[in-house]
Amino acid sequence: MATTYLEAIREGLFEEMDRDPNVFLLGEDIGIYGGAFKVTAGMLDRYGPRRIVDTPISESAIVGAAIGASFMGLRPVAEMQFADFISCGFDQIVNFAAKCRYRWNAPAPMVVRAPCGGGIHGGPYHSQQNEAWFAHTPGLKVVLPATARDAKGLIKSAVRDNDPVIFFEHKALYRRVKEDLPQGDYTVPLGKANIHREGRHLSVITYSAMVHVADEAASIVAKEGLSVEVIDLRTLTPLDEDTILASVRKTSKAIVFHEATLTGGFGGEIAARITEKAFEYLDGPVMRLAAPDTPVPFSPTLEEAYLPNVDKLVAKIRQLAAY
Amino acid sequence: MATTYLEAIREGLFEEMDRDPNVFLLGEDIGIYGGAFKVTAGMLDRYGPRRIVDTPISESAIVGAAIGASFMGLRPVAEMQFADFISCGFDQIVNFAAKCRYRWNAPAPMVVRAPCGGGIHGGPYHSQQNEAWFAHTPGLKVVLPATARDAKGLIKSAVRDNDPVIFFEHKALYRRVKEDLPQGDYTVPLGKANIHREGRHLSVITYSAMVHVADEAASIVAKEGLSVEVIDLRTLTPLDEDTILASVRKTSKAIVFHEATLTGGFGGEIAARITEKAFEYLDGPVMRLAAPDTPVPFSPTLEEAYLPNVDKLVAKIRQLAAY
Amino acid sequence: MAAVKLEALTRHDASQSPEADLARKALTYMTMMREVEERIERRLYRQGKVLGGVYVGRGQEAIPVGAGLAARPDDVLFPSHRDLALYLMRGVTPGQIFAQYMGRVGGLTRGRDGNMHMGDLSKGLVAIISAMAASVPVAAGAAMALKYQGRDQIVMVFFGDGATSRGDWHEGINLAAVQKAPLVLFCNNNQYAYSTPLDKQMACANVADRAPGYGIPAEIVDGNDPLAIYEAGRRGADHARMGLGPYLIECKTFRMTGHSAHDPADYVPKQLFEEWSQQCPIVRLEKRMIEEGWATSQEIAQLHERIRLETDQAIEWAEQSPYPDPSTLELDVYETKG
Amino acid sequence: MAAVKLEALTRHDASQSPEADLARKALTYMTMMREVEERIERRLYRQGKVLGGVYVGRGQEAIPVGAGLAARPDDVLFPSHRDLALYLMRGVTPGQIFAQYMGRVGGLTRGRDGNMHMGDLSKGLVAIISAMAASVPVAAGAAMALKYQGRDQIVMVFFGDGATSRGDWHEGINLAAVQKAPLVLFCNNNQYAYSTPLDKQMACANVADRAPGYGIPAEIVDGNDPLAIYEAGRRGADHARMGLGPYLIECKTFRMTGHSAHDPADYVPKQLFEEWSQQCPIVRLEKRMIEEGWATSQEIAQLHERIRLETDQAIEWAEQSPYPDPSTLELDVYETKG
Ligand SMILES: Cc1ncc(C[n+]2csc(CCOP(=O)(O)OP(=O)(O)O)c2C)c(N)n1
Ligand SMILES: Cc1ncc(C[n+]2csc(CCOP(=O)(O)OP(=O)(O)O)c2C)c(N)n1
Ligand SMILES: [Mg+2]
Ligand SMILES: [Mg+2]
């Protein structure tokens, strides 16, 4: 029976909570309500209020408390109701959690789950894709699964990881993406990209919801004889540079593709690394496709114009292929 | 008489406060104490507590209050005692200030001043260079002067600008950099890079304190016959792409250079743009030099190893020149 | 004849009193808010014409209305997400509100943002952002600016019980208190924040218990009585306008809906809904108005009818408002696109 | 003879009482803190051997010492930047502290961070970060964890008057209060935050006035009396350990220095320094100890001498500790680099 992306995360959390009594969840409305998106539905019944902690509306306290609990040997999984509110707990994440191992050898093994991304008519405050802030903060790991299989395998790895992990779940994938999951206890390692689709002529390097857009675009241009490889990064830190470079060395052309806004997005990092480390292999400029530099607009006409999509990517692929 | 970078900022603020009665300052210890770095020394005497507002320790309230005051027609200049604490007011900056014009046509003309950068033995919490977070946030302008002349001209432009500006002052430059300033009321426009030093063989694209490091490195390799052009971006948003591309089209080789940590830094953005838009002109990979992906360490031996410096840049220049 | 005449006169006098006038205004705006939100939540949302989150203030209309009546027209308002009436009172039309919810250019944000995320500085209305309580420091700054400018306007800011847990709430009030900024704070204590009941939000009995920690006065009022809220609001506004600093008003009420349109609120004990349904601020005010002779039931029925008609027309107007042109997407991020 | 003997016995008895023992410990740690900080601020800093900011707790030693005595050895401490004694009480050596300030590998952060930014989980000491009050939510989480684990330890967290303005302070206490987490909060109210006096920091008279807003008890104590702070700390610790939730202790004191070593504190009225210099917690305790027969002035002089010697040796030790090897720069950002 196919499992959705959302159910996959829930399963992963259930399994980790069963496996390790130190794992607990905290966040707003995660108990009786099961979370704004119902990811934690059923958890309170199973584990009780000791391990499923409903908190006041205070993102900084949620993150801070997770750090403090991690110091005491627990494995907190904190939920931000939307990734947009993670900026309310920003200082705790980038200054407390990220730096404590480096400074005084006090690891903070914890996960901050953050439902991100647009396409749900959420407007400027329920659609953000703000992973780049965290990928620029040494000490944090940044994870963004694209598939149900990875969502489960990565959340389990994140919970077991001994460093703070920001885990971005794409809201538009929660119920739209599903697949049969492997049986039993499996994990997907942090720091390993997935070759989502093999190809020979051009690499699209992407992550999160855009993996599916890239796959569709690849199918379309395949009919024109263009073989596109789709790399799903899965984690931005650690970054699987080897897989990126191997792909580009093979195809000689690369498009970096993400839903976050263009300027200062993580795509720049990837494009820069490709250029620096695979320059001789390049048969054309590394191109980027991303959202324009605006807040995420609410109205359907504007949001559609804002979000990267199959058409825009197909056009970009054709442009680079023709270079 | 030569004016320091710090005095230049102070002069700029004095002039803008004299010019426009709507300009006022708020922040911690900016009044009788004149600010942690004495940038606002003398202001309280001249303008009184109405226009020089000492606040409680609450960065989020400082930024929020600046936004609210700007809505009422004032021109607030908020001081963060250190750029490291800007993360405590992060949500107000990236979600309130940055988006209000776009959302409902309510501009927030305000400046957030933030003393940044390392080299003063400040350790992880008094040395950060975190401009990339803001340069990835549409709606904000990000300014980082490198010289006394620019510091004055840019702070004046920032105060007059009708959008929220994050103004990063480099602490290591405050008293170290000085020059004779132009007489009278001058401004330096936001969005215009400066060709700090002309050259033919290779472009170093940089900003803030690293401009001086680049200039020194350029002087050293000049003796080897290598002519290096140093571009001082001055503002990251708006970004002066034209000046960058014109330089690279001329020299065909580029190093992007900043003090912030490498991964996810704004250097990736610049490198990506160069590669995408000047690919045919490139005679070598665009390279980057930046701090390693760690917190800023305290101990002199570690901080010295951490900070980009002349030696490291000279080595990089030679490497790229030899490509 | 004489007796009848006298009675009519008495009635007339009562209905002409300032209190009657206030009550009629309160009833009008509460009813308008109820009607507009009913259409949004129960019709347009279910028809798929309204996208995104829908948060209504059913049963809590007395708060924005009582407060709004206490404000001077030039005072500056920071509504929260259940304060629709404040917009109506400042002359935003129901049509603009429907257009806003439907993402049309006729809305206050021209489709850039949705639902209650709207403002209009020319009307003294500042738009919330989603982050709860983020308005409080901003309102503090607006109030500081009014004082700076020597104006005698004040600022009113609105928030829920849950919002008081946020650091911004604390920092904003503290700054305003230290600065003696003219700020009146209205807490809509509807006893829930999404699914979270008060006892998981705070360990004190009242939000008002926090006021001494900022050295500011506070009072607790019946959140379903617009006239009581008006009175408290006047006290608060006078306090602030006299330069005495912030003033906190806690309005005890109940959220008669789920958190938003998609939330069935199974977590709320049914009994609470039943109890509080007896306290509907509209029904209560109507009853009182008839008792006091401030209006007849016929007049009230006419009011409802008029508002229904206006609302019908407003929806028509909004539905004719176009969606924004995609080519405008990148405008107005900065003053000049840069 | 008999009289003399009796007197000696009485003295002996007094000096053997638990109170005397406590007082001696308090004096020892206060003196150690004073001595170590004097060397840092007035010698090593001026010699250029200590880099970065230097914040000392001169005149405020009673707070960490009184609190630390009230803690059980397995309780978890979150010191702030004027609480050096807590480290000494948990067995961190003066040598390690000097090495920390000098950026040597012998310091608790091995040169990665400076001054009071140090911790050691094995000793129940959690390092602050610079952002004031950021420790409060973290301490709340640690306390929640102890409760989760069914342990009967508690957490003590320390902060200044200025720190209470921050959102984190509010969010952290509120969360701990709702969760009834075993947390004792110590406010060092030294009446200044950098150059900012209390009346520009808060509009209430006492930090303790904020406790009712979290539904927690608070008390105000003489911040220059370690035994009074110890007593309050015991009450707080008992309260927390019994599962009754957080407890706030406000210690009224004065910052007898500039904010940091480079601040001459011109903004502080001279008279305040004079007044408060009469309240030195070390001098006061010594006087009382002699009066109560808990120690002789000779014993006290010996204590000072012993501490001076130990401090000399500690500095020598620290100066021999090497600077970190630059090749270690990129280690320990993550568990495994990469
Ligand atoms: C900082 C932040 N975290 C989480 C949310 C998600 N959220 C939206 S409304 C809400 C509950 C608000 O409760 P309250 O302040 O009591 O207002 P009410 O909805 O009850 O009127 C939550 C948790 C948010 N908007 N902002
Ligand atoms: C969030 C934040 N803003 C600003 C600072 C700069 N700063 C360091 S200590 C200090 C004053 C702290 O005052 P208080 O909490 O009263 O402690 P005290 O130094 O008086 O013991 C300030 C403003 C900081 N460390 N953190
Ligand atoms: Mg509520
Ligand atoms: Mg203080």
D8 has pLDDT over 80: no
A297 in contact with C, Cβ within 8 Å: yes
* B184 part of a folded domain: no
Same domain, B167 and B292: no
| Class of residue A205 by CB neighbours under 10 A (exposed 0-12, middle 13-18, buried 19+) | buried
Cα–Cα distance, A93 to A26 (Å, whole number): 15
Same-domain check for residues A131 and A209: no
Q: Which of D45, D109, D171, D195 to mutate to test the interface with B (most CBs of B within 10 A)?
A: D195
CA atoms within 13 A on the CB side of B274: 37
Residue D200 three-state SS: helix
From the list D85, D90, D231, D240, the residue with the least C-alpha distance to D153 is D240
Distance between Cα C99 and ligand 1 center (Å): 24
Instruction: Write down the residue that tokens 């300032």 correspond to.
Output: C18
Confidence of residue C165 (pLDDT cuts 50, 70, 90): very high
Q: Give the domain CATH number at B117.
A: 3.40.50.970
- Give pLDDT, residue D4: 42
Q: How many CB atoms lie within 10 A of CB C53?
A: 22
Tell me whether residue B186 is in a domain.
Answer: no
Q: Sign of the C-alpha dihedral, residues A239, A245, A246, A250?
A: positive
Per-residue exposure over C14-34, b if at least 16 CB sit within 10 Å of its own CB, e if not? ebeeeebebbbbbbbbbbbbb
Q: What is the mean pLDDT of chain C?
A: 95
User: Which tens digit of pLDDT belongs to each residue from C190-237?
Assistant: 999 999 999 999 999 999 999 999 999 999 999 999 999 999 999 999
Structural domain ending residue among the three candidates B116, B147, B179: B179
Determine, yes or no, domain membership for A8: yes
Q: Using a pLDDT cut of 70, give the percent of chain C over it.
A: 96
Does B241 contact A at CB distance below 8 Å? no
DSSP string, C44-77: ITTTT-S-S-----TT-THHHHHHHHHS-TTSEE
User: Which of C56, C158, C194 most suits a substitution to test ligand 1, by most atoms within 8 Å of the C-beta?
Assistant: C194
A222-256 residue pLDDT tens:
999 999 999 999 999 999 999 999 999 999 999 99
Segment (H or E) for A291: strand A287-291
A252 at interface of B, judged by CB pairs closer than 8 A = no
Catalytic status, residue B136: no
Query: pLDDT for B148-202, tens place per residue?
Result: 999 999 999 999 999 999 999 999 999 999 999 999 999 999 999 999 999 999 9
Domain CATH code at residue B317: 3.40.50.920
Give residue for tokens 């992990």: A165
The span from the CA of B197 to the CA of A173, in Å, is 50
B234 in the same domain as B160: no
Catalytic residue, from B121, B126, B170, B196: name it.
Answer: B126
pLDDT bracket for residue D12 (50, 70, 90): low
Domain residue limits at B84: 3-179
Give every residue of chain B whose pLDDT is below 50, as ranges. none
Distance C192 CA to ligand 1 centre (A): 9
Residue B248 counted as domain residue? yes
Place of tokens 């902060």: D159
Contact between A263 and B98 using a beta-carbon 8 Å cutoff: no
Q: Is any ligand 1 atom within 6 A of the Cβ of residue C187?
A: no
* Whether residue A126 is found in the same domain as residue A258: no
Q: Judge if A162 and A240 occupy the same domain.
A: no
Share of chain D above pLDDT 90, in %: 93
C7: pLDDT strictly greater than 50: no
pLDDT band at D7 (very low <50, low <70, confident <90, very high): very low
Question: Does B209 share its domain with B134?
Answer: no
B124 in D contact zone (CB under 8 Å)? yes
**Nearest to D172, CA basis, from B83, A61, C273, C316:** A61
Instruction: Say yes or no: A263 contacts chain C, CB-CB below 8 A.
Output: no
**pLDDT at position C6:** 45
- Provide the number of CB pairs (under 8 Å) joining chain A to chain D: 139
Numbered residues of chain C with Cβ closer than 8 Å to any chain B Cβ: 76, 108-110, 112-113, 117-121, 126-127, 129-131, 134, 136-146, 148-149, 155, 167-168, 171-172, 174-175, 178-179, 332-335, 338
Confidence of residue C4 (pLDDT cuts 50, 70, 90): very low
Q: Which of C82, C124, C94 shows the shortest CA–CA distance to C281?
A: C82
Which amino acid appears at position B276 of this protein?
E
- In chain C, what residues touch A293 (CB-CB under 8 Å)? 330, 333
Cβ(C82) – ligand 1 distance below 6 Å: yes
The three-class DSSP label of residue B192 is: coil
Mean pLDDT of D203-213: 98
Model confidence pLDDT, tens digit, residues C43-86? 999 999 998 889 999 999 999 999 999 999 999 999 999 999 99
Residue in A with minimal Cα distance to D331: A102
Cβ distance of D324 and B301 shorter than 8 Å: yes
Residue C14's pLDDT is what?
A: 82
**Of the candidates B179, B209, B236, which is a domain's last residue?**
B179
D83: nearest Cα among D159, D171, D161: D159
* A135/A265 same-domain check: no
SS3 A287: strand
pLDDT value at position D10? 52
Q: Are residues B140 and B262 in the same domain?
A: no
Hey, what domains does chain C have and what are their CATH numbers?
Answer: 32-270+305-321 (3.40.50.970)
Q: How far apart are the first and last CA of chain A?
A: 44
Q: Among A179, A203, A220, where does a domain finish?
A: A179
In chain B, how many domains are there?
2
Is A78 found in the same domain as A210? no
Q: What is the ipTM of this complex?
A: 0.98
Structure confidence by residue, pLDDT tens digits, D68-83: 999 999 999 999 999 9
Same domain, A161 and A200: no
**AA identity, residue C6:** L
* Amino acid sitting at position D125: L
Residue C255 in contact with ligand 1 by CB distance below 6 A: yes
**For ion ligand 3, residues whose CB falls within 5 Å:** C 160-162, 190, 193
Tell me the three state secondary structure of residue B288: strand
In a domain, B54, yes or no: yes
- Cβ pair A73:D145 closer than 8 A: yes
How would residue C10 be classed by pLDDT, with cut points 50, 70 and 90? low
**pTM exceeding 0.90:** yes
B127 with B215, same domain: the answer is: no
